[in-house]
Structure 1
Amino acid sequence: MNSSLPRLRLSVLDQSVAVAGRGQDEAIRQTLSLAQHAESLGYDRFWVSEHHSHPSIVGTAPEVLMAAIAARTHRIRLGSAGVMLPHYAPLKVAEQFRVLDALAPGRIDLGVGRAPGSDGRTAQLLNPDRYASENFPQHVMELQAWVTGQPLPPSHPGHNVFAYPLSDTSPDVWMLGSSDYGAQLAAHLGLPYAFAWFITDGQGADHALRLYRETFRPSERLAQPKATVCIWALAADTEEEAWRLFESRARWRMDRNLGRIGPMLPPEQALRDYSVSEQLALAEMKEKAFVGTAAVVAAKLNQLAERLQVQEMVVITWTHDPQAQRHSYELLAQAFALTP
């Protein structure tokens, strides 16, 4: 990596993934344990996601999970990646995150996204307004005002309405995205931006980040563009072990492409007869994957960080065995010399 660039910082995104043979409630408790472990290893942030009616990803309420993590940690920043804003009233989201900031002052990231995090029918049950996503930019601006304690203009229905409790600190609002839309909106509003590389396998990342930087407008909270990417990565003691663990994720991806979504299988049960087209897709997936020993994964992450000109990456890791997941984060912490 170019020595003139700052040392790459690492953070964690966890989705509370359901695994075969264990209860979904255990996945939530594993997320709590992983957050404490990430703090002890020196990771900068710990983000949790929001999905609904998803048999694989059971983290449905990031604000609740963040409160539990806040009570068990002291330093690490905590965030949502993200709150799917079209489902909710911005005022209520602001209130929830103002409370979180009171529990963990100066440690809260409020990542927001426009995607439903669910299927269309579930999204409509969460919010019957089919056109809610069209108001996303307006709702983000309202959320910003209420989160930071800034008054809305007299012409706005929310004028003189505040999200309490107010304090000396407030959450940082992040824009999450996997396309140009989020990058442009983040730039227009002067927000930090996180690109979901793990969703697109990197497709569109270079363009979105370039667009974000070129069109960025400074805001009161952010004078310069601030971007990160969320990467799926897995490290193990040996290449062989890393790719063995990867079989669980590979099987999940191949099944998902066929509309079969369920808990992640252990590696020894993950292998099946793949069709020719699946074999080609799997080969491409492995070629792009950030999988291997810590040295191999770290080299790939550093190379990508230099290409994208980012100083932080958020790592997401799925394994059937929670100990393998913890060990992967340990190995990467060592490789990047993270300081607890």
Structure 2
Amino acid sequence: MKLSVLDQSTAVSGHAQTDAIADSLALARHCDALGYHRYWVSEHHHSGSIVGSAPEVLMAAIAATTSRIRVGSAGVMLPHYSALKVAEQFRVLEGIAPGRIDLGVGRAPGSDRLTAYALNPDAGQAAERFPQQVQDLEAWVSGMPLAPGHPFAAIRAHPQGPTRPDIWILGSSNYGAQLAAHFGLPYAYAYFFSDGQGVEEALELYRSLYRPSERHPLPQATICVWALAADTTEEARRLLTTREHWRIGFERGLRLPLVSPEEAAAAVYDEADRARIAALRRSAMVGTADEVASRLRQLGAQLGLDEIVVNTWTYDPAARRHSYALLAKAFQLS
């Protein structure tokens, strides 16, 4: 099985948010050397937790400082933007790293309603036009003509070249699965959004409704999971407390930087909080490399996947890099 990475550039308490960007660049080089297949970065806005607000900019730096790994967005929230502008950005990225660029797109705002409005006052209507945006984006990215009669049929996205980005549809519902199937595009399911609820139905819909395309004659699906490996199960569980603390804040509408395991352990939780934490621990893929690898292989076999994307948060960037190194060794990636 191939392993890939989703990096959300998480802010850490007591450190500048810009440190998260530097950590992302360091992790990308680390995972490139370890043998990971893809390195995807996310788009979020007005968040004190996830500060990767411009994936196309971060991708340029990653693409220029890595040599092998595919680099992508997971994803660009397309309704905020012009499809032409996104196509131009990713054509430039393709020039930086030919044959290594993935263009993952989603329909969700990646923020609250006010921030979505600030990004694009027409965002609500734009979300309804998402299928047309995807169609236009596919044409401009590939260099193929738009449909006859299209008002922008004369426009081309530059720079042109012998290679092109691969477009992925991202989602956590049946909508994205059906859209990806309709257009014959690869599909990535955000498993970690809902601890896997709905994944079987979404993948079944995607595969059963898939319409082969010239570039993708067969369906290509993956999922993104949250996982963490450490030298011992106890250490992995200790590191997990950082995410548990964040999750409780998230449920209360807070978007705060990650705190240390020590600060998380000292936090006072009510009964409802403790129940949420217990549920998170039951479903969390944490432990030694062998334990986490076994869970990932089992999940991949269950869902018929040959690739899984791993998202990992830790307070200490070194612990995150070590987790990815342990899983790379367990899967013999290099």
Inter-partner Cα distance in structure 2 for 1:260 and 1:177? 23
Structure 2 counterparts to residues 178-257 of structure 1, below 5 A: 178-257=172-251
Q: Match of 1:218, SS? A: coil
Aligned residue number for residue 156 of structure 1: 150
Deviations 1:60-102 (A, max 9, x none): 0000001001110111000000000000000000000000001
Deviations 1:298-331 (A, max 9, x none): 0000000000100000000000000000000000
Inter-partner Cα distance in structure 2 for 1:297 and 1:241? 13
Inter-partner Cα distance in structure 1 for 2:279 and 2:262? 22
Is 1:76 paired with 2:69? yes
Deviations 1:3-55 (A, max 9, x none): xxxxx100000010000011000100110010000000000000000001111
**Equivalent of 2:58 in 62, 65, 70:** 65
Aligned residue number for residue 285 of structure 2: 290
Is 1:176 paired with 2:207? no
Query: Structure 2: which 5+ runs fail to align?
Result: none
Per the TM alignment, residue 224 of structure 1 is displaced from its structure 2 partner at its CA by 0.4
Inter-partner Cα distance in structure 1 for 2:25 and 2:90? 18
Inter-partner Cα distance in structure 1 for 2:64 and 2:134? 27
Inter-partner Cα distance in structure 1 for 2:245 and 2:197? 21
Per the TM alignment, residue 158 of structure 1 is displaced from its structure 2 partner at its CA by 1.2
**Equivalent of 2:272 in 263, 273, 277:** 277
Per the TM alignment, residue 145 of structure 1 is displaced from its structure 2 partner at its CA by 0.3
Inter-partner Cα distance in structure 1 for 2:206 and 2:253? 33
**Equivalent of 2:332 in 326, 333, 337:** 337
Per the TM alignment, residue 186 of structure 1 is displaced from its structure 2 partner at its CA by 0.2
Aligned residue number for residue 5 of structure 1: none
Is 1:325 paired with 2:320? yes
Residue type at the aligned position of 2:269: Y
**Equivalent of 1:33 in 26, 31, 45:** 26
Residue type at the aligned position of 1:134: E
Per the TM alignment, residue 131 of structure 1 is displaced from its structure 2 partner at its CA by 1.2
Residue type at the aligned position of 2:283: K
Per the TM alignment, residue 278 of structure 1 is displaced from its structure 2 partner at its CA by 1.6
Report the TM-score when normalising by structure 1: 0.97
Inter-partner Cα distance in structure 1 for 2:67 and 2:294? 30
Inter-partner Cα distance in structure 1 for 2:255 and 2:61? 28
**Same amino acid, percent of matched pairs:** 60
Per the TM alignment, residue 276 of structure 1 is displaced from its structure 2 partner at its CA by 1.3
Kindly tell me the number of residue pairs found equivalent between the two proteins.
332
Aligned residue number for residue 301 of structure 2: 306
Report the TM-score when normalising by structure 2: 0.99
Cα root mean square deviation, aligned:
0.6
Which contiguous aligned blocks of 4+ residues in structure 1 show a shift greater than 3 angstroms?
none
Is 1:131 paired with 2:111? no
Inter-partner Cα distance in structure 2 for 1:259 and 1:307? 34
Inter-partner Cα distance in structure 1 for 2:109 and 2:318? 31
**Equivalent of 1:107 in 85, 100, 107:** 100
Inter-partner Cα distance in structure 2 for 1:156 and 1:48? 32
